[in-house]
């Protein structure tokens, strides 16, 4: 299924039912009094985070979603029934914002999380509500309140632990297929992935992490060039970036160092926080480099790229070097998860501004 990460929808909660004007008509009761009931509440619109979904494609072709209105009040003290609610299933990681202002309204971050995105209108009052000692036969009623109506933008940010970064044809799809359960399209000719792929990497029966293959970046991506710029935001929630480098490009005139620097520049221009994320260098396609030249080519790349961080030498095609890489990734991700879950030490508010006098 094609990955659809943006959609626009219009939602309408149900209007409340109108109140009723009615009087009791019973034999031998000349002044029966008012018995008009209230209208029913309009239906709400809920959004639920469904872990079984990974795309917003359902909302690309179904834009209008309306809950039922409440029933009107009736005589004999009968209140109208509430309108039926509707629940919209969305992938975990969906951000819901106002389509006109761009203001972020809600985020679905936890599987099974349910939020109310549009409230139904309250029902109107029947004349039974207006009965008093000085108004024994009220003829007043109120209409139901309108339900919320909104135009929303849905945006899906992939909730992956690790994101693959690199130029088109760097071997990211081959790598994710080698280490995870994802099966992206792979070919022996130059082409770029058209949509993100998610894969679960299992290190042990109860040890795993999620990896995302993002479409390749090109120079100018931060300004909107190419496909990758549409998906840069998916990397914002990852704990680690793997910068995949093609060490054996098809064209001998292509300089891997220049390509790597171009990617880093695009990352920095797009989002400084993304640029500051932990980033590892993964030198791929070393199976295509003669064995006696590998060490020298790797050393030359690291020196000219002026890289001081972790470096992994792999061949995604033959899976050489992949095992140490995924174990190192798991240890890093696990350490970050533990750090995020560590309790925050409470500070006495009396001393929050500095050392006590």
Q: Is 167 annotated as a binding residue?
A: yes
Burial letters for 126-154: b for 16+ Cβ neighbours within 10 Å, e otherwise?
Answer: bbbbbeeeeeeebeebbbbbbbbebebbb
Contacts of 40 (CB under 8 A, 6+ apart): 16, 17, 70, 71, 72, 73, 79, 80, 81, 82, 83, 123
What is the C-alpha to C-alpha distance for residues 127 and 75, in angstroms, rounded to an integer? Answer: 10
Determine whether the annotation assigns residue 173 to a binding site. Answer: yes
d(CA 127, CA 106): 39
Annotation-wise, does 315 bind a ligand? yes
169 is in an annotated binding site: yes
DSSP class of residue 39 equals: P
Report whether 82 belongs to an annotated binding site. Answer: no
- Determine if residue 232 is labeled as part of a ligand binding site: no
Question: Does residue 171 have a known ligand-binding role?
Answer: yes
Q: Is 123 labelled as part of a ligand binding site? A: no
Q: How many residues does the chain have?
A: 357
Q: Is 352 annotated as a binding residue?
A: no
Beta bridge partners of 118: 45
Report whether 66 contacts 118 (CB < 8 A). no
205 is in an annotated binding site: no
Tokens at 103, concatenated: 């203001």
* Residue (of 194, 157, 258) closest to 1 by Cα position: 194
**Residue 105 assigned as binding residue:** no
Give burial (CB, 10 Å; 0-12/13-18/19+) of 281: buried
The response to whether 172 counts as a known ligand-binding position is yes
Which uninterrupted H or E stretch holds 305? helix 291-305
Structure letter (DSSP) for residue 313? E
- 222 annotated to bind ligand: no
Q: Does the annotation flag 56 for ligand binding?
A: no
Query: Does the annotation flag 49 for ligand binding?
Result: no
Residue 312, annotated as binding a ligand: no
| Backbone phi, psi, residue 38, to 5° | -80, 155
Residue 157 among known ligand-binding residues: no
Q: Would the annotation count 287 as a binding residue? A: yes
Helix or strand or coil: residue 181? coil
Residue 214, marked binder: yes
248 marked ligand binding residue: no
Which residues are documented as binding site for Mg(2+)? 173, 193
Which residues are documented as binding site for GTP? 166-173, 191-195, 213-216, 284-287, 315-317
Which residues are documented as binding site? 166-173, 191-195, 213-216, 284-287, 315-317
């Amino acid at each position: 299924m094609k990955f659809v990460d943006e959609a626009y929808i219009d939602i309408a909660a149900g209007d409340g039912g109108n109140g009723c004007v009615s009087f009791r008509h019973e034999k031998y009761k000349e002044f029966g009094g008012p018995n008009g009931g209230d209208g029913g509440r309009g239906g709400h619109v809920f959004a639920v985070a469904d872990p079984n979904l990974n795309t917003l494609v359902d909302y690309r072709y179904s834009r209008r979603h309306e809950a039922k209105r409440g029933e009107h009040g009736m005589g004999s003290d009968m209140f109208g029934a509430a309108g039926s609610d509707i629940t919209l299933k969305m992938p975990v990681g969906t951000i819901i914002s106002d389509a006109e202002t761009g203001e972020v309204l809600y985020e679905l971050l936890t599987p099974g999380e349910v939020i109310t995105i549009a409230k139904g209108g309250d029902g109107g009052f029947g004349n039974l509500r207006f009965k008093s000692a000085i108004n024994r036969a009220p003829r007043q009623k109120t209409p139901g309140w309108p339900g919320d109506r909104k135009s929303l933008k849905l945006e899906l940010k992939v909730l992956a632990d690790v994101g693959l970064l690199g130029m088109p044809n760097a071997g990211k799809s081959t790598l994710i297929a080698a280490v995870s359960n994802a099966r992206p399209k792979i070919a022996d000719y130059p082409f770029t992935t058209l949509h993100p792929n998610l894969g679960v990497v299992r290190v042990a029966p109860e040890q795993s992490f999620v990896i995302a293959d993002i479409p390749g970046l090109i120079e100018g991506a931060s300004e909107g060039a190419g496909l990758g710029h549409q998906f840069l935001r998916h990397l914002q929630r990852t704990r680690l970036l793997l910068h995949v480098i093609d060490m054996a490009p098809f064209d001998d005139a292509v300089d891997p160092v220049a390509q790597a620097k171009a990617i880093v520049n695009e990352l920095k221009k797009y989002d400084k926080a993304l640029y500051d994320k932990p980033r590892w260098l993964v030198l791929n396609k070393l199976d295509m480099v003669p064995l006696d030249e590998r060490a020298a080519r790797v050393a030359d790349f690291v020196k000219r790229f002026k890289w001081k961080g972790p470096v992994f030498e792999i061949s995604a095609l033959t899976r050489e070097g992949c095992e140490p890489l995924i174990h190192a990734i798991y240890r890093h991700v696990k350490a970050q998860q533990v750090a995020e879950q560590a309790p925050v030490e409470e500070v006495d508010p009396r001393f929050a501004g500095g050392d006590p006098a």
